Amino acid sequence: MTSEERGERLQIMLNQDELRAIENWRFEKRMPSRAAAVRELLRRGLAAEGFDLAGEGVSSRQFGILDNGGADASSSDGED
């Protein structure tokens, strides 16, 4: 398998606002597909500085696309 082939599938659940934000960004940047847009956003996110590691006991729902819940979760006690 070459580096261009993608053998793993990653599924995520999004609410309508999160999906709309990704789709708006995708069309604004003229990305060829939703998958390409998500890969680019992941690449940029992983390359970014200043993201704290998730704290112990942080749940998946605390990480959203439109807010900083996940990044802030490590510095709090995890309660909303």
Residue type, 7: G
Residues 47, 44: Cα–Cα separation, whole Å: 5
Whether the Cβ atoms of residue 80 and residue 34 lie closer than 8 Å to each other: no
pLDDT (0 to 100) of residue 3:
59
Give, to the nearest 10 degrees, the angle between helix 16-28 and helix 34-47.
Answer: 90
Range among 13-22, 40-49, 60-69 with highest mean pLDDT value: 13-22
Band (38; pLDDT cuts 50, 70, 90): very high
* pLDDT, tens digit, 9 for 90 and up, residues 3-15: 578 889 999 999 9
Compute and round to an integer the Cα radius of gyration of the chain: 15
What are the structure tokens assigned to 43, written together?
């690449």
Selected residue with higher pLDDT from 20 and 58: 20
What backbone torsions phi and psi does residue 38 show, to the nearest 5 degrees? -65, -40
